[in-house]
A and B are shown apart, each in its own frame.
Chain A
Amino acid sequence: MSGVEGAANDRVHGHGEGNRPDRFDGQFPAILEAVQSGDPEAFDRIFRSLAAVVAAYLAAQGSAEPDDLTSEVFVGVLRNIDRFEGDEAGFRSWVFTIAHRRLTDERRRAGRQPTHEPLTAAANMAAPDQVEDAIEQSLSSDRVQRLCERLPGDQRNVLLLRLVAQLTVSEVATVLDKSPGAVRELQRRGLRSISRIIEPEGARR
């Protein structure tokens, strides 16, 4: 348990452009089996590997409480992991399916469309020595969220799953229960929409 708790102090690094890293160093089958046998340390490994990107996805989608919602996602993962069969890619798709469902539930409960945290909130949450980094990161994340909020829901979902969650087209199709072709078209439309939004912004600069 302490391992999971301590994971909050870690930072996930190393995602490359275009190449998704193997967050389990090829040990996913053994880790999965251990979790399914009730090994909390193995679950800690999974949490440390995926929680940050899940939280990032939920935050980018405008979740009011992305960290809490991330925990809800992993409660769901832990409760149903005994039924899971598949590889890391399949597991990742499943985790984000739960994440997307939790997000939908949160929005339904709140009865509102996605919003994002104001910049000041992000700065206030950071430790004093991290304020500068937090503000810098928040500026870009705030911009991404602001742009994505203007997209139709399908396009936003696809782009954020592709870019933030780093899922493949097939994995996004699985999460959203769409065909890969539909996902490809939605990501193209989404980027075109972003481009059209950015263009006048650039012209004003």
Chain B
Amino acid sequence: MTGLGGPSGLDDLRNPSELLDAKTVDALIAGHPVDGRLDDLVAFVHDARALADRPVPRPSPALLEVVARLSSWATARTNTLRSSDRRHRSSVAASVARLSAVSKIAAGALVGATSVAAAGAAGVLPEPVGREVRHLIEITTPIEFSGNAEAPDSPDRPRTHRPPSGGQGVHPTSAPANDPSAAKPQAEPVRPDRPPHPQQPGNGHATAPGQQPGNGHTTAPGQQPGNGHATAPGQQPGNGHTTAPGQQPAVAGPQDDRLADADLTDQGN
């Protein structure tokens, strides 16, 4: 298509690209009929749209791991918490009375999903799941998770304010980082599951009752503040993971490392 092959007339001598006014562009992108001299562009638009007609990609092991944790937790929650009433948390006596029964069930769940517990306490899991895991730990152990349990801010976090013009429910947080085509620079993103600085109080780390929330570490009653990791009563401060009573310390497996690494790379490290 050269733009010279149409019927005679000054308009036909125009370069096809010059036909692209706002109205024509809208029609072209919407797939509506446009000037025949734009047939090549119509074909391009059609081909570009057709790119989306492809098989659903196979999820990566990392994604499957995260979904598996979600699934494991959903099962554990069904088995343990569906019949429980959170209002009982307000009663220490009720919690203690229930501890033995729930802990048996929770122990089974935790044996099968120790990485879930550790990940939930460490903030690796999605927040709703991690919140439930922390709750499970709280009702089955004396450990309390104080302060803001939210993970640090993430560049992936959606904005929740709505634009004045309406229509858009969510505005993402910022422009892409270091995109050569991005018009606005962006601050270095923060790894979403990285714990806050340990010297800051009230930063979402578990603190046992009676403990000062000073060092951001989880310490069960009667324990000496140790190495900054959650430790259940009767446990020696361990390897950085939350441990339920009578449980072997949960150890994050290779998948956890892979997730962490992937996320680190996501955040420009």
Contacts of B16 in A (CB 8 A): 195, 199
Closest A residue to B172 by beta carbon equals A97
Query: A56 and B54: CB pair below 8 A?
Result: yes
Contacts of B156 in A (CB 8 A): 76-77, 79-80, 98, 101
Count, A-B residue pairs, CB within 8 A: 303
From B28, B51, B60, B128, A36 is in contact (CB under 8 Å) with B128
Per the 8 Å Cβ criterion, residues 83-115 of A in contact with B are 83-87, 89-91, 93-94, 97-98, 100-105, 107-109
Q: Is A123 an interface residue, CB under 8 A from the partner?
A: no
Tell me the smallest distance from the CB of B26 to a CB of chain A, in Å: 9
Q: State A181–B9 Cα separation when bound (angstroms).
A: 33
Q: What 1/0 flags go to B1-21 for Cβ under 8 Å of A?
A: 111000000000001111010
Query: B62 and A90: CB pair below 8 A?
Result: no
Contacts of B73 in A (CB 8 A): 38
Closest B residue to A49 by beta carbon equals B56
Q: Is B246 an interface residue, CB under 8 A from the partner?
A: no
Per the 8 Å Cβ criterion, residues 153-209 of B in contact with A are 154-158, 160, 162, 165, 167-184, 192-193
Query: B40 and A202: CB pair below 8 A?
Result: yes
Interface band, chain A: 35 or more
Q: Is B257 an interface residue, CB under 8 A from the partner?
A: no
Q: State A105–B265 Cα separation when bound (angstroms).
A: 8
Q: State A112–B70 Cα separation when bound (angstroms).
A: 36
Q: Is A5 an interface residue, CB under 8 A from the partner?
A: yes
A-B contact pairs, 7 of them (CB 8 A): A11-B56, A79-B66, A101-B176, A105-B268, A164-B51, A166-B49, A203-B2
Interface residues of B (CB under 8 A from A): 1-3, 15-18, 20, 22, 25, 28-32, 38, 40-41, 44-60, 62-64, 66-68, 70-71, 73-74, 77, 126-129, 132, 151, 154-158, 160, 162, 165, 167-184, 192-193, 259, 262-263, 265-266, 268
- Known contacts A7-B59, A80-B192, A153-B179; can you find 10 more A-B pairs with CB under 8 A? A13-B53, A38-B128, A38-B132, A78-B63, A79-B192, A81-B126, A89-B167, A105-B266, A108-B268, A176-B182
